[in-house]
Amino acid sequence: MKNKFSHIPLLIFAIAILLVVISLYGYMYGATGASVGRALTGMDFLTNEQDNASKAKLLTNLASSTLANRNELNTFYISSDNIVSFITAIEALGPQSGSTLSITSIDADSLTNAATGTIGSAHAHVTAHGSWGSVIRLLNLVEDMPYIVFVNHVRLDSVSVNQKSANSWNESFDLQISIMK
């Protein structure tokens, strides 16, 4: 007796099941890969946000810990409103050092229309006459001022009236002063 059921329908059924299983496996593999990709992207985003939060906290701590130093920085600049008092202070260094001092020229940036916190500069040419000790003391006093001051083009010349008298010295230098509105 011949079997009415042949192996062909079973084979077709098995192949169909195999194709369904392979399709489901491919779908699950792709879905898992996409899910892992989203999870890794989320973890990277979270890590970056945590790093940014810690950096922001460090910057906040740095800003609060340096507040006194930052406020002190403004004292190193001469206010554009107080430039005349600074010139008077420079002129007062002459008698303090024992030399005769004069400011022969001065030029300052105009900060009248500038925003608050704008930094400019003033330039002055200073000449002095006196003994070696007094002109060097003047130079030291100028350099030790508690402002941002640059001393440039220093020139010292010996001046003797006669061979028996002590030498006196002529000194000249340029000042560059940082000013702030």
Q: pLDDT tens digits, the chain, 181 residues: what are they? A: 566 667 888 888 999 999 999 999 999 999 999 999 999 999 999 999 999 999 999 999 998 888 888 777 777 778 777 788 888 888 999 999 999 999 998 888 888 888 887 888 889 999 999 989 999 999 999 998 888 889 999 999 888 766 666 688 999 999 998 888 8
Structural domain spans, the chain: 7-65, 75-180
Distance of CA 123 to CAs 8, 59, 104, 143, 150, Å?
104, 37, 11, 15, 9
Instruction: State which fold the 75-180 domain adopts.
Output: Alpha-Beta Plaits (3.30.70)
Nearest to 177 by CA among 69, 102, 85: 85
